[in-house]
Structure 1
Amino acid sequence: MSADATPVPTVTRAPERRQQPLPSAGAGERQAEQRDPFLDNAKYLAILLVAAGHAWEPLRDGSRTVTALYMLVYAFHMPLFALVSGYFSRGFEAEPRRLGRLLTGVAVPYVVFEVAYTLFTRWTSDDPDRPVSLLDPLYLTWFLAALFIWRLTSPVWRLVRWPLPLALAVAMLATLSPSIGDDLGLQRVLQFLPYFVLGLLLKPEHFRLVRRRTARVLALPVLACALAVAYWAVSWMNYAWFFHSESAEELAAPAWYGPVMTLAAFGCSVALSACFLAWVPGRRTWFTVLGAGTLSGFLLHGFVAQAAKHWGWYDPAWIRHPAGEITVTLIAVAVMTALCTPAVQRVFRRVTNPWTTHALRDREPRFGQNR
């Protein structure tokens, strides 16, 4: 889910482009000039973690190091995306133009890729009769369903007096409720909700804080300690807590574990996200432009990851050795980078970020145009 990561804003009241979901797609050079390089850099770097995490999944058995890295990445990469999505949703209002953008930029890709992933799964698995269900997000599409719901509720979170404590309470209660079920990935929607709400509360100065020299210096030992703890915890901790997709009962844990792990995971994820952001460059780099294509990379790389398992790319014995694990990681990074390029964005723009739709009434200027 991703988990291209993300960058520190100099916030100019950029047009509607700032309201794009994370991961987000680009919309031409004019909009690119108004984008914040820090946030685009961060999105690209974070999406590389998503690619690496999925590439490591088949390698976890038998490799404590890979499992520790996997655990560390999953502790914060999707919380980071939820947080930045919340930051981009600060100005969302339930008015026609923004609702239209939500439909075409999130709901349409959800429907298209939910169908596409279902058909692809029929071909690559032993389940040729798997039904197409828009209520049961498959693979990566859960994040689009979650983003749709979160963004619709964002005006409510700006109204309540204590939004973050309330969102944490909702997430904690979700871990006690196995009956919530899988419809629209509601467990994940509710358990990742605090990160989205935290993003709604953030301001540009908060990003500047984590990019101070002091924060960068502190980030290194914190990350090193986190990796050491992950390596130590591999043999006894159920890292499925970081997936935020199941209740305490479904994870075979006492009920009280749910609320406690929600708070512990929240603190851990926020701290690691801050450490990550501390080292994201704030200037334009060669990969800044790729930050505008993270939606394409996020949605498309899942087909590559699934195909790799289906075609037995992980079968050779050398893949299970350090050289093979490094090779797999580099390939995943290269594939994700390619999928984020402007050329791929242009090819898939109609489904990953459609600016117009004949299903909507054109009462205002078309998306991407000036008033």
Structure 2
Amino acid sequence: MVLVGIGHAWDPLRHDSRTAEALYFLMYTFHMPAFIVISGYLSRSFEGKPNQVKRLITGVAVPYVAIQFVYTFFMRWANDDPDREFHFQNPGFALWFLVALFLWRLTTPIWKSLRWPMPVALGIAVAASVTPSIGSDLNLMRVAQFLPFFVLGLQLRPHHFQLVKRKRMRHIAVPVTLAGFVFAYWAVPRMNKAWFLHDKSAEEMGVPSWVGAVMYLALFGCGLVMTACFLSWVPRRHMWFTALGAGTLYAYLLHIFPIQGSRQFDWYDMDWVDHPLSRVAITVLAGVMMTVLCTPWVTKVFRFMIEPRMEWFFKRDAAALARQREGTPGAGGAGRPSGSHRRPRKTPRE
């Protein structure tokens, strides 16, 4: 999640530095794929049960509507656009992920029932990459093109993560990452960054369909390799920042506003930003910002909007109510199961 914020902070800086853009390319190869693989891994238990659907609505759908609503007002003010409409079918900056996560998790039972889920998901993604008529509603192009990473996460088990954490893998990850940076540096003047966003078809990228399909598969492979390298460096033991993982959704949604504010108010046009050390400072500030937004103080303040309970919105579970009635004592033994009898207490004489 820290890398997501740093990537967004780097975007306005990459045009003036080939090195910065190469780092940008390298990061965008894996940071969202890794995030999506983990999201899929954590969705393995989803079976469409009532309590799971409730959590999906309150933890994904409601935050999307709430943040999209606030974001519209924010952009009206920041962009001096009082007539900006509420386009809930068109996710605002970075909000596409919530739409995608909602749809992916909702279809999890389907992927778990298929014999070959990965080939099917890859087929859908490649087909989307060469289909310009998908349109921008709900950002379905990204939903389809990032789908294989989510489905891959559904197939993973704990021992798969242990494989990439071996000492040998950590050592291999170093030259592989360096080679990736060298290739990214070479590709900067030759490649459009939009390939990494997966939000356009081959036709929109100005290439033949077969080129778009090949590029998608190549980027998918690169994403897997770099994700494995990244995960190999994740510490096994608990660190000071481990608990902050529970607040990553807060950081993802809340960082939208300072990032967009920095662009709308032209913070990157200030003279000091042009200095090389300024890029280092901005990177550190972005990392600190994302870390702070994961802390319990922030999650406590914004929980009403990002993780609301909304008990009033849902029907109560009939089975839970029945168990509650059975466990509640009532007049004439009404709280006990039907047919049960309490054994008479013996007197001292007996």
User: TM-score, length-normalised on structure 1?
Assistant: 0.84
Report the counterpart of residue 100 of structure 1 in structure 2: 54
Q: Structure 1 residue 77 and structure 2 residue 31: aligned?
A: yes
* Distance in 2 (alpha carbons) for counterparts of 1:146 and 1:94: 17
Aligned residue pairs total 320
Among 176, 181, 185, the residue aligned to 2:135: 181
* Distance in 2 (alpha carbons) for counterparts of 1:224 and 1:119: 43
* 1:251 counterpart SS class: coil
Report the counterpart of residue 151 of structure 2 in structure 1: 197
Among 234, 239, 243, the residue aligned to 2:193: 239
In the TM superposition, 1:157-236 aligns within 5 A as 157-236=111-190
**What is the deviation of 1:313?**
1.8
What stretches of structure 2 of length at least 5 have no aligned partner? 322-350
Among 143, 154, 158, the residue aligned to 2:97: 143
Greater mean deviation of Cα atoms: 275-284 or 307-316: 307-316
CA contact (8 A) 1:104 1:357 kept: no
* Distance in 2 (alpha carbons) for counterparts of 1:258 and 1:127: 36
Q: For residues 80-116 of structure 1, what are the alpha-carbon distances to aligned partners after superposition, in whole Å with 9 as ceiling and x for unaligned?
A: 1111111011110112111111000100001001111
Q: Percent identity, please.
A: 52
* Distance in 2 (alpha carbons) for counterparts of 1:355 and 1:337: 25
Q: Residues 365 and 125 from structure 1, CA distance in 2 versus in 1: closer, same or farther, beyond 3 angstroms? A: farther
* Distance in 2 (alpha carbons) for counterparts of 1:238 and 1:313: 25
* Distance in 1 (alpha carbons) for counterparts of 2:132 and 2:92: 19
Q: Structure 1 residue 303 and structure 2 residue 225: aligned?
A: no
**What is the deviation of 1:191?**
0.2
CA contact (8 A) 1:178 1:246 kept: yes
In the TM superposition, 1:339-358 aligns within 5 A as 339-358=293-312
RMSD over aligned Cα atoms: 1.3
* Distance in 2 (alpha carbons) for counterparts of 1:161 and 1:52: 38
* 2:65 counterpart SS class: helix
* 1:242 counterpart SS class: helix
Comparing both chains, which one has the higher relative contact order based on Cα–Cα distances under 8 Å and sequence gaps of 6 or more? 1
Q: Structure 1 residue 112 and structure 2 residue 60: aligned?
A: no
**What is the deviation of 1:365?**
6.6
Deviating beyond 6 angstroms after TM superposition, the runs of 4 or more aligned structure 1 residues are none
**What is the deviation of 1:126?**
5.0
* Distance in 1 (alpha carbons) for counterparts of 2:258 and 2:311: 29
Q: Structure 1 residue 284 and structure 2 residue 238: aligned?
A: yes
What stretches of structure 1 of length at least 5 have no aligned partner? 1-46, 367-371
**What is the deviation of 1:310?**
2.2
Larger Rg: 2
* Distance in 2 (alpha carbons) for counterparts of 1:171 and 1:279: 29
In the TM superposition, 1:255-334 aligns within 5 A as 255-334=209-288
User: TM-score, length-normalised on structure 2?
Assistant: 0.89
**What is the deviation of 1:61?**
1.3
